[in-house]
Structure 1
Amino acid sequence: RMFNLNVRAPYILCRELAKKMVKNNWGRIINIGSTTSYSSISIAPLYSASKHAILGLSRATCQDLSRYNVRVLFVSPGPVKSEMAKVVIGKFNENWDSFNDPVEIADYVA
């Protein structure tokens, strides 16, 4: 389920969006990653792997589509207030108030 959400869904979206963007010779794709896209966390190996994968997908898609004036951007916002974060917050001694709000991230990239 996690790979479907974090990897397969962005792959399908990129593939379908790219068709129109290539035809128009212009486009922008924004993928959302995580700080775990760059370094794994031992308590969530599958999550880390999925975020590594979306980074790789973004880089490869960027290289493939750049000749069509399509840019692929990758955003790694750091800790985000989510249900998953509530479960693991105690393991990192993080302050919940320092976590990013998902709506603020969406507003920023839009």
Structure 2
Amino acid sequence: MSTPGTRITVAAGCSGAWLWTAVRDEGPGILDDDQARVFDRFWRAGDTGGGRDRHAGLGLAIVRQIVESHGGQIRLFSRVGEGSTFVLWFPRPVTDTPTAGRPRSSPPSE
């Protein structure tokens, strides 16, 4: 979670047979050990020292379920101290290009 006043960047594009939307923050980043768990229902990061936490740990699990129900996938790219980027990949609804393999990398920056 980013702190107030930090920049959030949203971008979108396409790569072959896939459409993508990316959301990048300048927050604290996510520990490597936690990255595999951020999409689990009810999972929350350890105490961040921010006081009482009213989050239920459902937001990213719901996002993943919606994306996957549309044939897509969500990826996380994060480094502690540098922020996080969440990329949502969706197959293009109408295309002549086959979806040969799911994307495994971050979309190209512009």
Q: TM-score, normalised by structure 2?
A: 0.32
Name the structure where strand makes up a greater proportion of residues.
2
Q: TM-score, normalised by structure 1?
A: 0.32
